[in-house]
Amino acid sequence: MIDRYLSGEILARLNSGKALVIMGARQVGKTTLLKSLFADAIWLNGDNADTRVKLSNPNADVLRTEIGENKKVVIDEAQRIENIGLCAKIIIDQLPDVTLILSGSSSFDLANKINEPLTGRKWEWMMFPLSFSEMCKATSLATEMRLLDQRLLFGYYPEVVSNPGDQISLLKQLSSDFLYKDILTWENIQKPDKLERLLQALALQVGQLVSVHEIGKICGLNSTTVERYVSLLEKTFIIYRLGSFSRNLRNELNKSRKIYFYDNGLLNAVINQFKPLALRTDTGGLWENFLIAERTKYLAEQGIYANRYFWRTKDQAEIDYIEEINGDIFAYQFKWNPAAKAGFAPSFSAAYQPIKLSVIHRDNYAEWLSAKWIWSSHYR
C-alpha cells in the first residue's frame, strides 16, 4: 500500500483531545487510509441509513451505548448525518477517553455542521488524489517521469493508478453522478445534464479566463446558477478557482478567475477525451492543470502556506502562476516543450521584485514537485 503523507500528521495528533477531520473528494482514499490507521476503531458510515437514524438525536447515553468500550470512533462520510456537529461535540466534551475521527467528501455540508460546535476542538486536513511525490516513493522517480504522458491523461485517483489496463472505464464511472452525488442530493438539482455540461465547459477552458456569462450561455444556465454550481463543485473538491494577482499596475486584470481540476484523469473523463498527447490540441492546458494540481498537493505535503494567483494585464502580458509566501513573490511560466521561449513582463518584475522567476517544463518539473526544489529554510 502507498504510504499517504497524511498518516504521520494524523497519528501525531491522535491524543490531542480534539476531533480529527479528513476531507476530500470521494474515491481519493480517505477510507483506505483510515482503515490502515484505525483498524481497531468502531466504524460508523453516514452513507448507511441506520447510522443516520441512530445519530439523528444524539445524547451522551446513546453515544456511550453505541461506542461501548471502544477508544476510537471513525465516522465515515460524516456530512450525511444531520446532527454530526452535536454528535462530535458530545463525544469530545463528555467522552474524553474516546478519539473521534471524521471523514467527509463535502466541505459545504460537513463544514457547516461542525465548524461552530467544534470551534477549538478539531484538527482538519484536506486529502487529495495520489500525488507525484507519493508515487515517486511508491515506484521511483524514473518510473513516474516515464509515465508522465499517462498521468496527464489518466491522473492519480488511487483505483485508476492501481488498474493500469482499465483506466478509461474506471474514470468514466468516477465521472458519473457518483462523484458529485452530494450536490445532486443536497442541493436538489433537478437537471444533472446541465451540471455535466457545465463541467465539460470548464474542462474545455482549463488554463483560460473563465467568463460566468459565457459559460452560462453554453450550458443554458443563468450567471447566478453558474456561480452556485461552480462553488458547489469547488466545495466537493472536484475543481478549484485561481484568482488574479493585482496590486499596483493600472492595467492589471483584478477580478478574473481561472478554474482547474484536482485531477487530470477526471478532467479528461468529463470531456471523454483520452487520445495520446501527440494527437491532442490541448496539451498545454493539460500540462498547466497537472502542474498546478500537483503543486497544490506538494505545498500541502510540505506544510508550505502560500497565496496563489495568476497574473494578466489588459494588453495580454501574462504569468501562468504566482506564489506569495511571507510577502515574497515567486513567479512561474509553464511550457510543455523545454525549448519553447517563455518571458516575464519587465513591468511585473519592476513592480513586484519577485524572488524567483522560473520556467517549468518537462525537463525540470520533477524538481518543482519534490523536496529537491531549492527554498530558503524559513519557507520549509
| Residues sharing a CB contact under 8 Å with residue 363, sequence separation 6 or more, in sequence order | 338
- Could you read off the pLDDT of 3-36 as tens digits, one per residue? 678 899 999 999 899 999 998 988 899 999 999 9
- Could you read off the pLDDT of 203-260 as tens digits, one per residue? 999 988 888 888 888 888 888 988 888 888 888 889 999 999 877 666 655 567 899 9
Pair (106, 146) in one structural domain: no
Query: Could you write out the DSSP letters of every residue in 49-80?
Result: HHHHHHTSS--HHHHHHHHTT-SEEEEETGGG
Q: Does position 376 have pLDDT exceeding 50, yes or no?
A: no
Pair (207, 91) in one structural domain: no
Of 149-158, 183-192, 369-378, the range with the highest mean pLDDT is 149-158
pLDDT of amino acid 333: 96
Pair (197, 155) in one structural domain: yes
Residues β-bridged to residue 73: 42, 100
> Is 1 within a domain?
no
Pair (295, 369) in one structural domain: yes
Q: Among residues 126, 150, 176, which one ends one of the domains?
A: 126
Pair (208, 255) in one structural domain: yes
Q: Report how many domains make up the chain.
A: 2
Q: Among residues 126, 157, 181, which one ends one of the domains?
A: 126
Q: Among residues 67, 96, 126, which one ends one of the domains?
A: 126
pLDDT of amino acid 177: 62
The Cα-based distances of 340 to 147, 161, 320, 336, 347 in angstroms read 22, 31, 15, 8, 22
Residue 344, SS3 per DSSP: coil
Pair (177, 59) in one structural domain: no
Pair (89, 175) in one structural domain: no
Residue in the structure block whose three cell numbers are 503523507: 5
Pair (34, 160) in one structural domain: no
CB 70 within 8 A of CB 95: no
- Could you read off the pLDDT of 168-180 as tens digits, one per residue? 999 998 887 666 6
> Is 77 within a domain?
yes
Residue 135: which of 112, 108, 161, 106 has the closest Cα? 161
Q: Label residue 184 by pLDDT band (50, 70, 90).
A: low
Q: Could you list the residue range(s) of the whole structural domain that residue 110 is in? A: 6-126
- Give the residue ranges of DSSP H helices in the chain: 6-12, 30-37, 49-54, 60-67, 84-94, 107-114, 132-138, 141-146, 148-154, 158-162, 167-174, 181-186, 192-204, 212-219, 223-235, 264-271, 283-302, 346-352, 365-368
Q: What is the pTM of this model?
A: 0.90
* Side-chain half-sphere CA neighbours of 345 within 13 A: 16
Pair (271, 361) in one structural domain: yes
CB 181 within 8 A of CB 288: no
Query: Which CATH number characterizes residue 107's domain?
Result: 3.40.50.300
Pair (75, 205) in one structural domain: no
The 318-325 sheet, strands edge to edge: 257-261, 239-244, 307-312, 318-325, 328-334, 356-360
Residue 364: which of 148, 91, 49, 120 has the closest Cα? 148
Pair (215, 322) in one structural domain: yes
